[in-house]
Amino acid sequence: MLKFLKITNFALIEHAEMDFIKGLVAITGETGSGKSLLLDAISSLLGSKCNTMNIRSGEKKYQIEGIFEIKQNSMEAAWLDIHGFEFEQEEIYIKKELYSDGKSRIQIGKSLAPASLLKEFGAILSEVHRQNDQTFLIEKSSQLDYLDRFAGLDSLKQEFFEKYKTYLTLKKRFTELSNQTLEKQKKIDELKFQIEEIEISGLSQKEEDQLLKEENMLLHGEKSLENYSLISEILSESEESILKGFSRILHASDKIETIHPEFANIKKEFYEIYDRLKDISHQIVDEKDEIFFSEDRLENVQQKLNAIHKLKKKYGSDISEILTFLEKSKVELEVLENFEENISSLEKEMYSSRENMTSVAIKLSTLRRNSILKFESSLAKEFEDLGLKQAKLQVVMRWEQAIEGDLSEGDKKYMVSETGLDQIDFYFSANQGEKPRPLRKIISGGEMSRVTLALKSILGNDKILIFDEIDSGVSGETAKLLSEKLKSISTKSQIILITHSGQIAANSDIHLLVTKSVKNERTISSVQSLRKEERIRELAKMISGEEITKGALEHAKELLKKAV
């Protein structure tokens, strides 16, 4: 329920704060005073569409704040928990701001939230019934929900929905496999070719790197061998080789030393150089012998690399992707080769699922049909209590035939939806002798609100109910009956409404008066919660008009005294 509301710069409402309690909240005031603006603000806070036209002239934004009571283990608490909104002491704070550029800022608890989530949460918290804007009641899906709630079929309906989803999943898969039949063999041949082409290449993760390295060695092998041979020839193999020439240098150094002993150091360096050159010569010979070059091997390596390049173009950017493609193709081939067995098994599973779904659908339909008479009778009693003594609501239930329906009975097929077989339509007649017609085509705004109230009465309700002039066209004894019904329902759920009926206003737990005045050459709508004496004067004014008579005052006191 709504516990507190604060409105800032919303159209004519410059600033308003008000406390609420559980029960019946009546909003009264002269025509044009701004009563509907108060409901607009509450509706906006509960997720209705924003409108920059409602920003007070000259201001940058409007701001609406509210505190709502949230019971533990309720649908509201569960929704807040699922979406990660924290609330404390069984209360949730909501704030909505709309700026002149059309941007909005919404806060649920301590967290910011998108408009879509506020709308979703607002629908759980409340139902808003505006004049000529109660589409939920004329929608067939809503009408079916009302009947199911009355018959206590929510659990069975959920069971059917689960079976329906399972059947649709199986049916979709079966259709997909069936459509593959014509292309099956072509796909099998294609997969076999692709698998063979990849497998025959003998790919491995490291193979490409090894082939590239080998190709590089083979491409440069011939030139390397030529240069190694040249070095070897100059060092030791030719008649004029360095080592052969160096031996003569060493012989000459020995002779010089016998004549000049101080030459010994130079001779020693010559011998060291000679020994180093011999070592290098041996190393060159060894490395030259290890060099392998083969035109045939180079051609073979390059053919393998070209094959890998072609596979990359077809099956993946690298060997890892190609091998992944290979494994997936093998799995797909196995499925297709077992196609007949798989589709036969799936078909049996689909038919079994359809039988289970059909069984629950027929049970659900039977229970719905059996509850209709009691549902209609209960509503008739409520209509009488609400002053619609001749009103009658009939439930028309049918199955929709379709050539491709999922449920067969005899030689006919019928459509099945997520709610079952049944198509529901409420037919309504307000007066005796009139033929009932579809509710959506004939009902007036005031009648619609009272039908809604009748439904809430027989079904129970824990949402905030908001009504705009539910007493339209109602007076006298009918207004009294309507007042009593509103009061009765408000003991279980909060009702906020605009009323022109003194009887309804007198029966309210909170009476809000909306007035309009001019301040600093600006029109302002103000909201005041009336105390007892103020309520008497407002009720008297509703009875007699601007000139309050003594009789009107006495009548007002009597209304408050008799308030249930």
CA distances from 493 to 21, 69, 146, 467 (A): 10, 12, 18, 13
Can you spell out the DSSP letters for 396-458? Answer: EEEEPB-TT-SEEETTEEE--BTTBSEEEEEEEESSTTPPPEEHHHH--HHHHHHHHHHHHHH
State the CATH class of domain 134-177+352-460. Answer: mainly alpha
Residues 17-33 pLDDT 10s:
999 998 999 999 998 89
Rg of the chain (C-alpha set): 46
Mean pLDDT over 437-441 rounds to: 81
Whole-model pTM: value is 0.64
Q: What is the largest CA-CA distance in the chain?
A: 159
**Which CATH number is 1-131+469-530's, of 2.40.30.10, 3.30.2020.30, 3.40.50.300, 3.40.50.1480?**
3.40.50.300
- pLDDT for res 38: 94
Q: How many residues does the chain have?
A: 564
pLDDT category of residue 550 using cuts at 50, 70 and 90: confident
- pLDDT for res 189: 84
pLDDT greater at residue 234 or residue 89: 234
- pLDDT for res 37: 93
- pLDDT for res 4: 96
Residue 275 φ then ψ, to 5°:
-60, -40
Among the ranges given (184-198, 281-295, 361-375), the one the predictor scored with the smallest mean pLDDT: 281-295
Structure tokens at 63: 């701001």
Highest mean pLDDT among 179-193, 504-518, 544-558: 504-518
- pLDDT for res 80: 93
Contacts of 507 (CB under 8 A, 6+ apart): 24, 26, 483, 484, 486, 487, 563, 564
pLDDT greater at residue 6 or residue 391: 6
Does position 132 have pLDDT exceeding 60, yes or no? no
pLDDT category of residue 290 using cuts at 50, 70 and 90: low
What does the alpha-carbon distance between residue 478 and residue 166 come to, in Å, rounded to a whole number? 51
Does position 185 have pLDDT exceeding 80, yes or no? no
CA distances from 56 to 7, 255, 529 (A): 11, 121, 23
Q: Given this chain, do its domains 1-131+469-530 and 134-177+352-460 carry the same CATH topology?
A: no
| Cβ proximity of 91 and 68 under 8 Å | yes
What does the alpha-carbon distance between residue 373 and residue 367 come to, in Å, rounded to a whole number? 11
Residue 180: how many CA atoms within 13 Å on its side-chain side?
A: 19
**Residue 11 backbone zone (phi > 0: left; psi -120 to 50: alpha; other: beta):** left
**Neighbour-count burial of 525, counting CB atoms closer than 10 A to its CB (0-12 exposed, 13-18 middle, 19+ buried):** buried
DSSP 294: -
User: Domain extents for the chain?
Assistant: 1-131+469-530, 134-177+352-460, 207-333
Strands, sheet with 61-69, edge to edge from the N-terminal-most edge strand: 13-19, 2-10, 61-69, 91-99, 104-108, 111-113
Q: What is the mean pLDDT of the chain?
A: 87
**What percent of the chain shows pLDDT beyond 70?**
95
Does an H or E element contain 214, and which?
Answer: helix 207-232
Grouping H, G, I as helix, E, B as strand and the rest as coil, residue 390 is coil
List the beta strands (DSSP E) in 194-275. none
Residue 521 φ then ψ, to 5°:
60, 25
